[in-house]
Amino acid sequence: MTTGKDWPRELLWTALWAVVVGAGGMICLRFWDLPAIMNPSALLFFLLTSLAENVTLVDLQPKLTVSASLAIIVATMILFGPGPLVFAAAFATVRFGDLRGRLRLTPLLFNRGQLALAGGLALAVYDRLGATVGRAGVAGQTAAAFAAGGIFFLASITAVSLAASLKEVRSLRATLAGSLSATAGQAIALISLGILCAHLYSAWAWTGIILVGVPLAIAVASFRRYIRLNDALLASITSLVLVLEARDKCTHGHSSRMAEYALAIARELRFPPHRLEQLRRSCLLHDIGKIGIPDAIMDKPGPLSGHEHAVMATHPVLGATVVGPLEPLVDPKWIAHHHERYDGTGYPSGLKGGEVPLGSRIAALADAFDAMTTARPYRPAKDWEESIAEIRANAGTQFDPMVVEAFLRSLPKLRGASARDDNWRVIPGVVPGHAPGLARWTGGAATTPQTSSFSRH
């Protein structure tokens, strides 16, 4: 339900949707060229685009997807011109799951519109630079194609980032910067691959495409297998965390709440998407070392003795050892030092200030905040205001002042929608989402804050 405070943002989103869908539709009509689209070779490239978007899809992160479709889009522009390009960009990039109702009509139309619009802008640049359809081997054509491919990528990713910033109440600058940092490298590689495909097709027809396509398909299959193995390993260890939290009702949900707080802080500190995902996983697994702590200590209802605290203090290092094989999916150092203090009086190493990894400094504050705002057997939970005041009071001693400031800036979002779903994907052939390996909006929905428990320090 839209509140009075939200209606300007909702109005802007509606206006953006109407402009993008309307402009995309006009471009489709402007460049509609049935004879060119029905060219048998162009239709085969249309099919290749669809296959690349659906078959070469690789999930790098929960909200980050990579496909090779951007490469085929660029090759289509070079070889067949405006009509086939816009047709392929707007319609060949529909994912099979979207047609089965996985994506609602609003984001589905937005994606069609923004991709058609991106195609129109790419064509304008290609034409402005004096390029001619079908001349893939000319040096000037290559430069024009690279520039046009870059415009296609930037236009698509900007449209999706703008939509994401409006729907998820995020800074456009931060959203766009994060999307670009996660996808620019893949986009450059895919644009280059598309130009190569056009050159090979011009020289050797389909033999050239096969020379590129077969090794690429093998590489994608191998990478998918690698991702699945890593996901299976991570899922197994995450299951251990659930078992650990089941040992004590007071710890249920602690790791997931802590991860949400940590991500909110890290976004304020401009963490790139891949580091955000690394932080999320590290937070979910931060207490995995407690699997080796005796039940008598874990279940003790009162404060721990000196000896018991010394035993409990071994869990960060044990946890880092357990997750070591998962690096770089997680960062073992962040787990090993998440109980260090900014003044150097923490454990296990007594690190001080900047010696403590930034991920650990963020995790320490997030961990403490969830601990303060949830109940323990020997004390009730503190309210948010009291907990925030305590965080402020301990800036410079327990917590890094920079991290505290980032936490305070994140509070409006944490209060309002504590854990918003990150259903925006930018992708460049990649990406948060979709498109020709480009960007796509999946229509996110907000969830409500969770209440909770506490994990013993």
Question: What pLDDT, in 10s, does the model give residues 72-101?
Answer: 899 889 888 888 999 988 888 887 777 776
> Looking at the structure, do residues 234 and 297 belong to the same domain, yes or no?
yes
**pLDDT in the model for residue 303:** 79
pLDDT at 294: 86
pLDDT for position 149: 93
DSSP-assigned beta bridge partners for residue 441: 424
Residue 427, domain member (yes or no): no
Least confident span in 73-87, 104-118, 432-446 = 432-446
Tens-place pLDDT, residues 25-52: 999 999 888 888 888 888 888 888 887 7
Nearest to 141 by CA among 151, 125, 128, 130: 130
Question: Does residue 416 carry a pLDDT above 70?
Answer: no
Report the half-sphere exposure of 236 (CA within 13 A, side-chain side). 10
Instruction: Give pLDDT, residue 25.
Output: 92
Please tell me whether residues 400 and 290 are part of one structural domain: yes
**pLDDT class for 248, splitting at 50, 70, 90?**
low
429: region left, alpha or beta (phi > 0 left; psi from -120 to 50 alpha): left
**Which residues is 430 bridged to in the sheet?**
66
> For residue 440, is it within any domain?
no
| pTM exceeds 0.75 for this model | no
Query: Among the listed ranges 93-102, 256-265, 302-311, which one has the minimum average pLDDT value?
Result: 93-102
241 shares a domain with 192: no
Do 88 and 144 share a domain, yes or no?
Answer: yes
**Residues 370 and 273 both lie in one domain:** yes
Does residue 450 fall inside a structural domain?
no
Q: What is the pLDDT of residues 174-214, one digit of tens each?
A: 778 777 777 788 889 889 888 888 888 887 877 777 777 77
Q: Residue 420: its pLDDT value, please?
A: 40
Q: What is the pLDDT of residue 451?
A: 27
Return the amino acid letter for 209.
Answer: I
- Report the CATH number at residue 193: 1.10.1760
The whole-chain average pLDDT of the chain stands at: 79
**Is residue 323 within 8 Å of 330, Cβ to Cβ?**
yes
Give the pLDDT confidence of 417-433 residue by residue, as tens digits: 543 433 333 333 333 33
265: domain range?
Answer: 227-419
In a domain, 438, yes or no: no
Cα separation, 419 vs 422, in Å, equals: 9
Residue 103 has pLDDT above 50, yes or no: yes
SS3 at position 441 = strand
Whether pLDDT at 450 is above 70: no
Q: Are residues 210 and 287 in the same domain?
A: no
State which H helix or E strand residue 7 sits in. Answer: helix 7-30
Structure confidence by residue, pLDDT tens digits, 341-370: 999 999 999 999 999 999 999 999 999 999
**Mean of the pLDDT values across residues 162-177?**
76
pLDDT band at 401 (very low <50, low <70, confident <90, very high): very high
End position of a domain, from candidates 201, 223, 245: 223
Would 258 be classed as within a structural domain? yes
> Do 215 and 245 reside in the same domain of the chain?
no
Residue 424 lies in a domain: no
Residue 274, domain CATH: 1.10.3210.10
